[in-house]
């Protein structure tokens, strides 16, 4: 999962949010609400902070990702930062809200690597109670479609620590292609980890959809 810069640039992000004049139909103004079978994807809201803190700061979820905030306020700052980055047109972060719930149990994020999203990196995390429920694959397919069709991403990268079995299994399952190993590319808790670099190319994704009808799940 890419680094989630939770704390920095918050003041600028909040200012940028207040100054925005973008049109309502633009993803920069507000992300689309995407209804899936088991959950909805939508913009993060400040009220998601407590549930994200409870679910994403556990040891098993945060083990292979950049350290999440440790307080509700820290998550609120992160959420405001995501809104500012969206309005600046560099980044999109979807909250995962299961049907019957009102707050987020996880998130999917996409950030541009090149201006204009020719290439981008994505990352994701769900509360462990929701692992193995099918929510990852459902959300991932929608987020990849959004990245390719709306953001215009041509190449979508993901990095996962080699030891992160679920992270790598999840990426493989939705059709990402393993490209190589990034040696000592992630530092966590006093040690360096090697990461696997995965990619999805827009042309291949569209081709597979045309053949299979909807998804690339292996
Ligand atoms: C990554 C994450 C969002 C995936 O969601 P999930 O619900 O666990 O994913 P799924 O269960 O749909 O898919 C994981 C797949 O990996 C497989 N898997 C699990 N452990 C594995 C292991 N040690 N080695 C290989 N595959 C493994 C699972 O069997 C599953 O495949 P299957 O559905 O064909 O059986 C979730 O595990 C998570 O939030 N992890 C913590 C944060 C994180 O690591 N993010 C990713 C950074 S790249």
CA of 108 to the centre of ligand 1 (A): 14
Neighbours of 173 (CB within 10 A): 14
Task: Evaluate whether 143 touches 135 at the Cβ level (below 8 Å).
Answer: no
Which of 169, 185, 196 maximizes ligand 1 atoms within 8 Å of its Cβ, making it the mutation to test the pocket?
169
Q: pLDDT 10s per residue in the chain (218 long)? A: 444 443 332 333 333 333 333 344 699 999 999 999 999 999 999 999 999 999 999 999 999 999 999 999 999 999 999 999 999 999 999 999 999 999 999 999 999 999 999 999 999 999 999 999 999 999 999 999 999 999 999 999 999 999 999 999 999 999 999 999 999 999 999 999 999 999 999 999 999 988 876 555 54
CA of 46 to the centre of ligand 1 (A): 27
Dihedral, 122, 126, 128, 129 alpha carbons, nearest 10: -150
Q: Could you tell me the pTM of the whole model?
A: 0.89
Q: Give me the sign of the Cα torsion angle 216, 89, 135, 164.
A: positive
Helix (H) or strand (E) holding 215: none
The CB of 124 under 6 Å from ligand 1? The reply is: yes
* Nearest alpha carbon to residue 112 among 65, 152, 163: 152
The CB of 136 under 6 Å from ligand 1? The reply is: yes
CA atoms within 13 A on the CB side of 198: 21
The CB of 132 under 6 Å from ligand 1? The reply is: yes
Give the DSSP letter of residue 218.
Answer: -
């Amino acid at each position: 999962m890419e680094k989630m810069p939770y704390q920095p640039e918050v003041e600028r992000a909040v200012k940028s949010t207040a100054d925005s004049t973008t049109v309502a139909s633009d993803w920069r103004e507000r992300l689309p609400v995407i209804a899936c079978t088991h959950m909805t994807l939508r913009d993060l809201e400040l009220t998601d902070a407590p549930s994200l803190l409870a679910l994403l700061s556990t040891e098993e979820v945060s083990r292979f990702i950049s350290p999440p905030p440790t307080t509700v306020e820290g998550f609120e700052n992160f959420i405001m930062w995501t809104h500012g980055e969206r309005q600046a047109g560099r980044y999109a972060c979807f909250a995962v809200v299961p049907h019957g719930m009102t707050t987020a149990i996880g998130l999917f994020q996409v950030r541009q690597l090149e201006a204009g999203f020719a290439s981008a990196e994505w990352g994701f995390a769900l509360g462990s109670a929701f692992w193995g429920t099918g929510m990852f694959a459902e959300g991932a397919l929608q987020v990849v479609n959004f990245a390719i069709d709306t953001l215009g991403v041509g190449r979508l990268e993901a990095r996962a620590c080699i030891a992160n079995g679920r992270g790598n299994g999840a990426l493989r399952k939705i059709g990402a292609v393993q490209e190589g190993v990034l040696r000592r590319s992630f530092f966590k808790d006093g040690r360096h980890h090697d990461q696997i670099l995965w990619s999805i190319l827009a042309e291949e994704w569209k081709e597979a959809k045309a053949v299979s009808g909807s998804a690339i799940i292996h």
